[in-house]
Amino acid sequence: MQIECYAQRLLNPFRGVVHTIRYQSAEAVTTDGIEWDIYVANDALLEGLGPAGRRAQISDIRYGHWSAETGLKRGPLFPSEDFKRLENMGAVVYENLLQMHRAVPFAFRDQFELWLLDRHNLPLALLHSVRTNTETDTQPPLDWRAGMAARESFQSTAVPHMGEPAGVYLSEYVNSLSDGVAQWFRRSDDGAGLGLHALKGGESLRGRVLETEAFPPLFIATAGMDEHHIQLVHDYHAWQAPWMLLLPNLDPAGRSKLEVSACRQAELVEKHFRLYPAVIDQQALLAARVAAALARNQPKPTPQADETMSMFYIELSVSADE
């Protein structure tokens, strides 16, 4: 029995990390280390499809929701030809979740990365990441996006925006630095990247090797920008700080700077801190969490829908006469 435990980034825009416990076609996933959703997929539907099966979509079926506080809440069930097999897969994941939920954060396994390239064919902005080479045949959007949340709440005075939100301007500016070519890379443990196939041109780039320094650690390259646009990108990273702290390879100085920025968004620190792989200033993050606890007792406006991770699944309905 092979159980996989891994982390994967939510990208374009970067809005957090999904931690997964997986067995065959069943998985338990969390973005905060507290609330876990368990899904199973009927992978038998792909049998006989050959290579085309890699691109076929099968819907996830909700097995249940679990947290240490509330326990397991099962999704609706119905008998089917594959019911027992799906139930067994879900049960295996659930049993391992009970044993391993405290082991987060897990190691990142999404080493295949799709980068939007600048006009010198160097990595400009990270668009997507996957765990296996077979997944690189996907066709994600090839424009970089600051995201809907940035449209609503990201602010910067680094450059004039002509009345449009700073997040919209940043998206347009970053994409203006590219001819639209994107390339997949396989990143090695030392950070170097082997160039794989390119999208929208760049066929001659396959097989090249770029050193670690060619890949911006916070996913947007600022080389060649003027000081005002560099500041705009830095402001965006500061706004993203509660999510950036989820990354494992930040140097101590960079992590410390992001912690200062993250503490201005105390509720997001409270949501994600359990998954931070390291903390420089324990007292500052504790103070932010206390502030978040106090804020929870205050009336809040209706929150905006979170764009980070939409879990699409089929609810298994119980028939009326059962």
pLDDT digits (tens, 9 = 90+) for 270-305: 999 999 999 999 999 999 999 999 888 776 666 555
pLDDT band at 44 (very low <50, low <70, confident <90, very high): low
Q: Around Cβ 279, how many Cβ atoms within 10 Å?
A: 15
DSSP 296-320: HTS--PPPPPP-S----EE--PPPT
pLDDT in tens, 59-116: 678 899 999 999 999 987 766 677 888 899 999 999 999 999 999 999 999 999 999 9
In the block, which residue shows the tokens 């435990």?
5
Provide the domain limits for residue 284: 240-296
45: in domain: yes
Judgement on whether residues 244 and 230 belong to the same structural domain of the protein: no
Calpha distance 319→155 (Å, rounded): 51
pLDDT band at 139 (very low <50, low <70, confident <90, very high): confident
Cα end-to-end span (Å), the chain: 34
* Cβ–Cβ < 8 Å for 136, 196: yes
Judgement on whether residues 42 and 69 belong to the same structural domain of the protein: yes
Of 74, 108, 142, the one marking the end of a domain is: 108
pLDDT beyond 80 at 50: no
pLDDT band at 311 (very low <50, low <70, confident <90, very high): very low
Judgement on whether residues 128 and 91 belong to the same structural domain of the protein: no
Q: Taking residues 243-253, what's their average pLDDT?
A: 96
274: in domain: yes
Calpha distance 221→210 (Å, rounded): 14
Judgement on whether residues 88 and 116 belong to the same structural domain of the protein: no
The values of phi and psi at residue 196, to 5°, are: -105, -150
Locate all alpha helices (DSSP H) within the chain, ordered by sequence.
83-100, 148-153, 166-176, 227-239, 241-244, 252-262, 266-272, 282-296
* Residue 302 CB burial class (10 angstroms; 0-12, 13-18, ≥19): exposed
pLDDT band at 154 (very low <50, low <70, confident <90, very high): very high
Judgement on whether residues 69 and 91 belong to the same structural domain of the protein: yes
318: in domain: no
Judgement on whether residues 162 and 229 belong to the same structural domain of the protein: yes
143: in domain: yes
Q: Taking residues 134-160, what's their average pLDDT?
A: 94
- Nearest alpha-carbon partner for 86 in 64, 67, 57, 55: 64
238-273 as b/e: b if 16+ CB within 10 A = bbbbbbbbbbeebeeebbebbbebbbebbbbbbbbb
Calpha distance 206→194 (Å, rounded): 8
pLDDT beyond 80 at 250: yes
pLDDT band at 48 (very low <50, low <70, confident <90, very high): very low
Q: Taking residues 228-241, what's their average pLDDT?
A: 98
216: in domain: yes
Judgement on whether residues 8 and 74 belong to the same structural domain of the protein: yes
User: What is the share, in percent, of the chain residues with pLDDT greater than 70?
Assistant: 85
Judgement on whether residues 153 and 170 belong to the same structural domain of the protein: yes
pTM of the model: 0.86
